[in-house]
Chains A and B, each alone.
Chain A
Amino acid sequence: MAIESVCMALLQWSPALIAGFGQNILISLLAIGLGTVLGLLVGMLALSPWRLLRLPARLWVQVFRNAPWLVLIYFTTYVFPFEIHVGSAYIPFPDWVKVTIGLALPASANVAEILRGAVASIPGTQWEAARSLAFSRWQIAVSIIMPQCLKRMLAPWMNLYAVVTMGTALASLVGVHDVIDTAQIASNTVNLTGFTVLVYLSLLVLFFAYCYPISRLTQRLERRYAFY
């Protein structure tokens, strides 16, 4: 009897939970997209031959890799304004966008490091060989080094995506209505011991079902592109 009502309650709440998880996935996709674009830019700056460009990029990477993700999320949530004033219009700046930016910052620092590692793994002799064939620095980077780097970056980048997805769980702490927030509301509303156990376990299952295949695929790619 009790088990039946608990299962019914879970069934009843499952659309809300799935919708919440959709919010998590949306945040993670936008954050990794933004983080990748930013990270590639920062990573390229960090590889530049000019000190003046290299230093800020280094600082960016150090600061955002060494800060706890939670603190960065609080940072973007509380420091950014609630709405942006453009001309005469007020554009709202929702919490979940701020969280996305808060996750994109550390993601970008990690992408920059992944790029640095991939470029460093290409033997220096290739730069020299290309230089002797009269390629310019930009040409070497774009047509010789980058194509090889992409393959090597794929596995760590996917790993990073899995980490970012798990990082979206922190969004609930700053009031974003995500899957964990939904689970808390559900468990407080239904107020049955069995349901509370079940709903938190289903959170574990949801995240595991999403992240485990990514991690398996990453391992396969790592093995396929192993270069030593």
Chain B
Amino acid sequence: MNHWLEFFVHWASSLGLNYGFLLDAYPRSTLAQGALTTLWLCLLTIIGSLLTGLGLAALLTSGKRALAVPARVFIEVTRNTPTLVQLYCAFLVLNMLLNQAVGTANPLTPFAWVVIVISLHKGAFHAEALRAGIEAVPAVTLEAARSLAFSNRQLLWNVQLPLALRFALPSLINNLIDLVKMTAVASAIAVGDITYSAIMIWTQSDNVLELMILLLGFYGLLSFIVNCVGRYLEARLRMPGYGH
């Protein structure tokens, strides 16, 4: 491991890039910790956003105005305001109110707030994709299922969602790649993700360019992995004659 690292540092220095800090234990562990935090953040928000999206899509297509209108308002507000402002509204406003109410017993850390805000934010985008998928299910399919005495919930869970998922998968994956990139805003409220650790390192030693290339590579790799998983799922779930 160390051997390869030294080799890499040597090779990069021949290109004029000074990656010497990677051989130093402290910055290296900071970066590794940051990368791990980003991975956790991505994993938790992917799960959270998909669940939120599912819930919102179910509300939107429920056919009941009392459920659909609040969901629609939430989605429009979420889609048309910056994530950073939402994060501040949650962390600086709600968290402050919570702190005033319960004092130091406040269970929510900055990390938890980022997970909540990004899950809700991307959930709104997932919901739109899923709604389009649910609405694309042919009416005859629904009639056929209804004539087989499926209840509304069974209809959604067993007929509409499996078909909607296939239809919406490309845009869901697109949203998830966006989500991976969005986790960088966590650094704004001092969650120690990889962007934050990079900032911490380059304020101490002047190596912005090297760290930037490292960051771009890291996020590129993460979105590439999400993309590959998406491609695999698309191929796996493909039903001949339906969807793309």
Residues of A that sit less than 8 Å from B by CB: 63, 66-71, 74-75, 78-79, 162, 166-170, 172-173, 180, 183, 187, 193, 196-197, 200-201, 203-204, 207-208, 211-212, 215
**Chain A CB within 8 A of B47 CB:** no
Given contacts A69-B184, A170-B185, A173-B188, 9 further A-B contacts (CB under 8 A): A68-B219, A70-B195, A78-B202, A166-B83, A170-B82, A193-B96, A201-B93, A204-B86, A212-B76
Tell me which of B84, B195, B212 contacts A180 (CB under 8 A).
B84
> CA–CA, A70 to B100, complex, Å?
31
Residues of B that sit less than 8 Å from A by CB: 76-77, 79-86, 88-89, 92-93, 96-97, 100, 177, 181-185, 187-188, 195, 199, 202, 208-209, 212, 215-216, 219-220, 223-224
The smallest C-beta distance from A93 to any residue of chain B, in angstroms, reads 15
The smallest C-beta distance from B112 to any residue of chain A, in angstroms, reads 19
Is the beta-carbon distance between A180 and B85 smaller than 8 angstroms? yes
Q: Which of A71, A75, A180, A204 has the most CB of B within 10 A?
A: A71
Is the beta-carbon distance between A66 and B219 smaller than 8 angstroms? yes
Q: Which residues of A contact B212 (CB under 8 A)?
A: 71, 74-75, 78-79
Known contacts A67-B216, A68-B181, A200-B93: A211-B81 contact under CB 8 Å: yes
The smallest C-beta distance from A120 to any residue of chain B, in angstroms, reads 15
Tell me which of A63, A66, A166, A197 contacts B82 (CB under 8 A).
A166
Q: Which residues of B contact A70 (CB under 8 A)?
A: 184-185, 187-188, 195
Chain A binding surface, main DSSP class: helix
Is the beta-carbon distance between B93 and A196 smaller than 8 angstroms? yes
Q: Which residues of B contact A204 (CB under 8 A)?
A: 77, 81, 85-86, 89
The smallest C-beta distance from B37 to any residue of chain A, in angstroms, reads 15
Q: Which residues of B contact A207 (CB under 8 A)?
A: 80-82, 85
Is the beta-carbon distance between A69 and B181 smaller than 8 angstroms? yes
Is the beta-carbon distance between A68 and B182 smaller than 8 angstroms? yes
The smallest C-beta distance from B83 to any residue of chain A, in angstroms, reads 7
The smallest C-beta distance from B32 to any residue of chain A, in angstroms, reads 18
Q: Which residues of A contact B96 (CB under 8 A)?
A: 193, 196
> CA–CA, A221 to B183, complex, Å?
32
The smallest C-beta distance from A218 to any residue of chain B, in angstroms, reads 11
Is the beta-carbon distance between A208 and B81 smaller than 8 angstroms? yes
Q: Which residues of B contact A211 (CB under 8 A)?
A: 80-81
Q: Which residues of A contact B86 (CB under 8 A)?
A: 204
Is the beta-carbon distance between B97 and A71 smaller than 8 angstroms? no
> CA–CA, A67 to B217, complex, Å?
9
Known contacts A68-B181, A196-B96, A197-B97: A74-B199 contact under CB 8 Å: yes
Is the beta-carbon distance between B93 and A170 smaller than 8 angstroms? no
> CA–CA, A168 to B81, complex, Å?
11
Chain A residue at smallest Cβ distance from B224: A66
The 4 closest A-B pairs by CB, nearest first: A169-B82, A68-B181, A68-B184, A166-B82
Is the beta-carbon distance between B181 and A203 smaller than 8 angstroms? no
Known contacts A201-B89, A204-B77, A212-B76: A71-B82 contact under CB 8 Å: no
Chain A residue at smallest Cβ distance from B80: A211
Is the beta-carbon distance between A162 and B80 smaller than 8 angstroms? yes
Chain A residue at smallest Cβ distance from B181: A68
Q: Which residues of B contact A75 (CB under 8 A)?
A: 212, 216
Is the beta-carbon distance between B77 and A208 smaller than 8 angstroms? yes
Q: Which residues of B contact A166 (CB under 8 A)?
A: 80-83
> CA–CA, A143 to B188, complex, Å?
48
Is the beta-carbon distance between B83 and A79 smaller than 8 angstroms? no
Q: Which residues of B contact A168 (CB under 8 A)?
A: 82
Is the beta-carbon distance between A169 and B93 smaller than 8 angstroms? no
Chain A residue at smallest Cβ distance from B194: A71
Q: Which residues of A contact B224 (CB under 8 A)?
A: 66
Supply 28 A–B pairs (Cβ within 8 Å), ascending by A.
A63-B220, A66-B219, A68-B183, A69-B181, A69-B184, A70-B184, A70-B195, A71-B184, A74-B195, A75-B212, A75-B216, A78-B202, A78-B212, A166-B83, A169-B85, A170-B185, A173-B188, A183-B88, A196-B92, A196-B96, A197-B93, A197-B97, A201-B89, A201-B93, A204-B81, A204-B85, A204-B86, A208-B80
